[in-house]
Structure 1
Amino acid sequence: MKTLILTNRVPFPPNSGYPIVVYNTIKGLLNLGVDITLFSINTSKHRIDVDDIYDPVFEKIEFHSFSIDTEVNVWGALLNIFSNQSYNVSRFFDEDAGRLLEDILKENEFDIIQFEGLFVVPYLDTVKANSNAKIIYRAHNIEFDVWERIAMREQFTPRRRYLQFLARRLKHYETEQLNRFHQVFAISEPDRQHILKFGCQAPLDVFPVALDFEKYIIDQTKTSFPTLFHLGAMDWRPNKEGLEWFLDEIWPDIEKLNSELRFYIAGKSMQRQFFEYDSENLVVEGEIFDAIEFINSKAIMIVPLLSSSGMRVKIIEGMAMRKCIIATSMAAEGISYEHGKDILIANTADEFYRSILQCITNPKKWREIGDNARKTVERDHDIHAISKRMLDIYHKLISA
């Protein structure tokens, strides 16, 4: 089985949501004997020096990448208004990258070509013109839905209207592409239901985040209590907005509960405003070297997202590390959970306050929820089971 995977960023190292999903997909398929070629857009925002990649998974694949500056600029955004293209997506297309992909397709005969996310779909015409492979689109989330929710929360009217414009363009592009594939993979059941409503007629299956549980080693002797923590990239707007809301509306009351309580926030692109926040009990660590070690060392995970789509990989990782997660229902969307058993859902300041109070006054409660969380993700997110099911669909497509 010869497979080509297209990604909108280099998934090495697997240190955030999208790279983790892609990395584990590749790792699981390799373990089943699939021959993998990876073509990645190496964006300016997430640029990786390929020569610095040292990873056993990387050594087992054929790898190609092309560097593109995808940064938003005022002139490009203005010109785009007068085109019929989605500015969110068009920034990822480059004619030279298309020619490199064309050469790869002419030199290889692939059985399956898998597009990991919407931002590599602009290369679909190149693939169709140069390959007879079965083509799969994997929706990591409903992209336009994220932008619609962000626009709804924007207070500045001109910016809100422009965000709404971007969301409409993105929705038109996203829904228009679905039926150009032989197969569509959704990241969660709610996303599958949304995609069906968009008129998707291609076969549609759910493939959630897969984890290799050998990586998630728990050492509770290194876990400090009482501690809260938040882990997420601050260059992703929903993370920034959610954390701002929590710090402004909830944390001032929470830190009064216990003088020893500490709230740790970490993630790349941490902005100055968080370092300057007036709270002695808030610890801002910025980008960290080892996310698993950081998660292991803290007790209760806070995920206050107010706009999102898809599935939050960091929640799945937190559950794998037996953490008690306190999250909005939007943050936990797509995860098979039972409120009060393997996660705590809080959508208001009062609900967050009561959930945190419950956990820090009753340590047995958060440990119990963490233990149940681990069982839940072992059931639903095992890399071996998910990879086997994906390969079964590959074989079904090829034999059709």
Structure 2
Amino acid sequence: MKALILTNRVPFPPNSGYPIVVYNTIKGLLHLGVEVTLFSINTAKHNVDVDDIYDPVFEKINFHSYNIDTEVNIWGAFFNIFSNQSYNVSRFYDDDAAKLLEHVLHDHDFDVVQFEGLFVVPYLDTVKEFSKAKLIYRAHNIEFDVWEKLAVLEQFTPRRKYLEFLSRRLKVYETEQINRFHQVFAISEPDRQSILLMGCETKLAVFPVAIDFDKYNVDTSKTSFPTLFHLGAMDWRPNKEGLEWFLDEIWPDIEKLNGELRFYIAGKNMQKQFFDYDSENLIVEGEIFDAVEFMNSKAIMIVPLLSGSGMRVKIIEGMAMEKCIIATTMAAEGINCKPGKDILIADTADEFYRSILQCITKPNRWREIGENARKTVKRDHEMNTNAERMLRIYEDLILN
């Protein structure tokens, strides 16, 4: 079995949501004997020096990448208004990248080609022209939904109008492309329902975030209490907005509960405003070297997302590390968890306050929820089990 995987960024190292999903997909398929070729758009925003990649998974694949600057250009954004293209997507396409992909397709006879996310779909025509492989699209998010929700939250009218415009363009593009594949993978059941409402008539299956449990070793002797933490890339707008809301509306009251309580926030591209926040009990770590070790050392994970789509990888990782997660309904969407058993759901300031108070005053409560959380993700998100199911779908597509 030969598989070509297309990605909109290099998934090495696997240190955030999208790279973790892709990396574990590749690792699981390699374990089953699949020959994997990876073609990645190496963006300026998430640029990786491929010569510095030292990873056993990387050594086992055929790898190709092309550097593209996908940063938003004010003039490009302006002139795009007068085209019929989605600016979000078109920034990831380059003619020379398509030519490189063409050479890869000439050199290999692939059985399947998997498009990891909407932003590599502009290369679909190239693949269709130069390959007879079965074509698979994995929707990491319902992209237009992310921008619709951001527009609803935006108070500055001109910016809100532009976000609405971008979401409409994205919706048209996603809807047009969804039936051009032989198979579609949704990241969650709610996303599967959304894809069906978009008019999907092709085969559709749910493949949640899969993780390698060998990486998530829990050592409770290193966990400090009482501690809260937030972990996420701060260049993703929903993370930034959710954390701002929590710090402004909830944290001032939470901080008064216990003089020893500490709230740690970590993630790459941490903005200056968070370092300047006036709170003695708030510790801003910025980008951290080892996310698993960071999670192991803290007790309660806060995920106050107000917008977004897909499945939150950091929640899955936190559950694997036996963390008690306190999250909004939006943040937990798509995860097969039971509120009060393996997660705590809070959508208002008062609900967050009561949930945190409960965990601080009843330590056994947060430990029990964390233990249940680990069992839940072990059942639904184990890497090799998901890879085996994915390979069976590949084989069925080829046979039929």
TM-score (normalizing by structure 1): 1.00
Aligned-partner Cα distance in 2 for 1:294–1:251: 21
Question: What is the DSSP-based 3-state SS (H/G/I as helix, E as strand, rest coil) of the residue aligned with 1:63?
Answer: strand
Aligned-partner Cα distance in 2 for 1:89–1:259: 48
Q: CA deviation at 1:57?
A: 0.2
Match of 1:77 in 2: 77
Q: Counterparts of 1:183-202 in structure 2 under 5 Å? A: 183-202=183-202
Q: CA deviation at 1:115?
A: 0.1
Match of 1:240 in 2: 240
Q: CA deviation at 1:397?
A: 0.2
Match of 1:59 in 2: 59
Question: What is the DSSP-based 3-state SS (H/G/I as helix, E as strand, rest coil) of the residue aligned with 2:329?
Answer: coil
Question: What is the DSSP-based 3-state SS (H/G/I as helix, E as strand, rest coil) of the residue aligned with 1:84?
Answer: coil
Aligned-partner Cα distance in 1 for 2:179–2:304: 34
Aligned-partner Cα distance in 1 for 2:143–2:261: 37
Match of 1:313 in 2: 313
Match of 1:323 in 2: 323
Match of 1:189, as an amino acid?
E
Aligned-partner Cα distance in 2 for 1:245–1:266: 16
Q: CA deviation at 1:53?
A: 0.3
Match of 2:219, as an amino acid?
D
Aligned-partner Cα distance in 2 for 1:92–1:196: 26
Q: Counterparts of 1:220-259 in structure 2 under 5 Å? A: 220-259=220-259
Question: What is the DSSP-based 3-state SS (H/G/I as helix, E as strand, rest coil) of the residue aligned with 2:72?
Answer: coil
Aligned-partner Cα distance in 2 for 1:383–1:237: 28
Aligned-partner Cα distance in 2 for 1:337–1:215: 22
Aligned-partner Cα distance in 2 for 1:7–1:13: 14
Match of 1:30 in 2: 30
Match of 1:350 in 2: 350
Aligned-partner Cα distance in 2 for 1:254–1:87: 41
Match of 1:290 in 2: 290
Match of 1:170 in 2: 170
RMSD: 0.3
Match of 2:336 in 1: 336
Match of 2:218 in 1: 218
Q: CA deviation at 1:15?
A: 0.1
Q: CA deviation at 1:384?
A: 1.1
Match of 2:300 in 1: 300
Q: CA deviation at 1:103?
A: 0.5
Aligned-partner Cα distance in 2 for 1:225–1:259: 12
Q: Mind listing any 5+ residue stretches in structure 1 that lack a counterpart?
A: none
Aligned-partner Cα distance in 2 for 1:91–1:348: 37
Match of 2:192, as an amino acid?
R
Q: CA deviation at 1:226?
A: 0.2
Aligned-partner Cα distance in 1 for 2:116–2:41: 11
Aligned-partner Cα distance in 2 for 1:52–1:333: 36
Match of 2:106 in 1: 106
Aligned-partner Cα distance in 2 for 1:159–1:345: 31
Q: CA deviation at 1:350?
A: 0.2
Aligned-partner Cα distance in 2 for 1:103–1:69: 22
Aligned-partner Cα distance in 1 for 2:361–2:63: 51
Match of 1:147 in 2: 147
Question: What is the DSSP-based 3-state SS (H/G/I as helix, E as strand, rest coil) of the residue aligned with 1:113?
Answer: strand
Match of 1:160 in 2: 160
Question: What is the DSSP-based 3-state SS (H/G/I as helix, E as strand, rest coil) of the residue aligned with 1:331?
Answer: helix
Aligned-partner Cα distance in 1 for 2:175–2:298: 41
Q: CA deviation at 1:144?
A: 0.4
Q: CA deviation at 1:299?
A: 0.2
- Give the percent of matched residue pairs that are identical in Structure 1 and Structure 2: 79
Match of 2:41 in 1: 41
Question: What is the DSSP-based 3-state SS (H/G/I as helix, E as strand, rest coil) of the residue aligned with 1:330?
Answer: helix
Aligned-partner Cα distance in 1 for 2:371–2:226: 18
Match of 1:122 in 2: 122
Aligned-partner Cα distance in 1 for 2:234–2:214: 28
Aligned-partner Cα distance in 1 for 2:212–2:153: 36
Match of 2:171, as an amino acid?
K
Question: What is the DSSP-based 3-state SS (H/G/I as helix, E as strand, rest coil) of the residue aligned with 2:332?
Answer: coil
Aligned-partner Cα distance in 2 for 1:137–1:249: 40
Aligned-partner Cα distance in 1 for 2:392–2:86: 34
Q: CA deviation at 1:73?
A: 1.1
Aligned-partner Cα distance in 1 for 2:384–2:120: 26
Match of 1:371 in 2: 371
CA deviation profile, 1:245-266 (whole Å, cap 9, x unmatched): 0000000000000000000000
Q: Mind listing any 5+ residue stretches in structure 2 that lack a counterpart?
A: none
Aligned-partner Cα distance in 1 for 2:15–2:233: 10
Aligned-partner Cα distance in 2 for 1:175–1:228: 40
Q: CA deviation at 1:132?
A: 0.2
Q: CA deviation at 1:107?
A: 1.0
- 2:361 aligned with 1:361, yes or no? yes
Match of 1:375, as an amino acid?
K
Match of 1:11, as an amino acid?
P
Q: CA deviation at 1:289?
A: 0.2
Aligned-partner Cα distance in 2 for 1:205–1:199: 15
CA deviation profile, 1:15-65 (whole Å, cap 9, x unmatched): 000000000000000000000000000000000000010000000000000
Match of 1:179, as an amino acid?
N
Aligned-partner Cα distance in 2 for 1:3–1:396: 14
Q: CA deviation at 1:373?
A: 0.0
Aligned-partner Cα distance in 1 for 2:150–2:193: 21
Question: What is the DSSP-based 3-state SS (H/G/I as helix, E as strand, rest coil) of the residue aligned with 1:9?
Answer: coil
Aligned-partner Cα distance in 2 for 1:184–1:159: 33
Aligned-partner Cα distance in 2 for 1:77–1:115: 25
Match of 1:205 in 2: 205
Q: CA deviation at 1:365?
A: 0.2
Question: What is the DSSP-based 3-state SS (H/G/I as helix, E as strand, rest coil) of the residue aligned with 1:374?
Answer: helix
